[in-house]
Amino acid sequence: MARYYSGVTREAFLRDLDEKQHVIRMLDGEGELAGFSTIQVLHTTYEGRKVVTVFSGDTVIDERCWGQKKLQRTFTAFLLRVRLRYPLRKVYWFLISKGYKTYLLMRNNLLMFPNHQGRTPAGAQAALHHVATLKYPEAYDPQRGVIASCGAAVKDDAADLSPRDLEHPDIRFFCAQNPGWKRGDELCCLADVQLYRLLLSALKYSLIYPLLALFGRGPRRRGARAQAVVGSRDGGTP
């Protein structure tokens, strides 16, 4: 964390980690830790219905493994297990993002809000407000749709955006929607976890990307081939 974020303390990191039930660990070709993502599964009631919300917390991929998709593939599989375990419940993925790369993890896989294609529907906005208020009752700013900075922020060398980056509509939208991202403000995002969209994402990571890589046409991958595994800190299941 400290390599890519300023203002991170061990105490704050461990306090946040203590709330999470699951951790995805990304390992490089030598078996060394090269990235991770923490996960909390919340069971609540919203508008009279039981709701399951998957909250993905701190997520970091080391630069030597940028472009590899194993962490994304493993998280998609985790979401799929949750969706199948609770077929009759509404399932959401809640994400807070202080950097555009984390925002793109959700944007590139599911129908999520907010996004640059239009105003967030009233129902989705209300659900997002419910989850954000539940999780961050004091830090959430409903007018801006962000969690106010707790001190941690993306380091300057990891936050540099080129003019070419800003040509990307999603990156440009993220920067406009969360202008305080460089000081650590986090944009609140929500996706409705729908089975058919998850299956499309799983197909992309399990078949399409590997085939493109085989022919040298896929996303540029750094470093040796990595792997990612998910573990439960409490010994439980999603």
**How does pLDDT run across 90-121, given as a tens digit for each residue?**
999 999 998 898 899 899 889 999 999 999 99
The whole-angstrom separation of Cα 169 and Cα 18 is 36
Tokens 């209300």 sit on residue: 126
How many CA atoms within 13 Å lie on the side-chain side of 147? 24
CB 87 within 8 A of CB 98: no
Does an H or E element contain 44, and which? strand 33-46
Look at residue 181 and give its three-state secondary structure.
helix
CB 198 within 8 A of CB 106: no
Question: pLDDT per position in the chain (238 positions), as tens?
Answer: 556 666 667 777 777 778 899 998 888 878 888 888 899 999 999 999 999 999 987 788 887 777 677 888 889 999 999 999 999 999 999 999 988 988 998 998 899 999 999 999 999 999 999 999 999 999 999 999 999 987 666 655 455 788 888 999 999 999 999 999 988 899 999 999 999 998 988 888 776 666 666 666 655 554 445 566 667 766 566 6
Tokens 């998280």 sit on residue: 75
What are the backbone dihedrals phi and psi of residue 97, each rounded to the nearest 5 degrees, phi first?
Answer: -130, 120
Task: Give every CB contact of residue 67 below 8 A, 6+ residues apart in sequence.
Answer: 219, 220, 221, 222
pLDDT for residue 37? 87
Amino acid at 69: K
Which candidate, 145, 226, 213, 137, places its Cα nearest to that of 178?
145
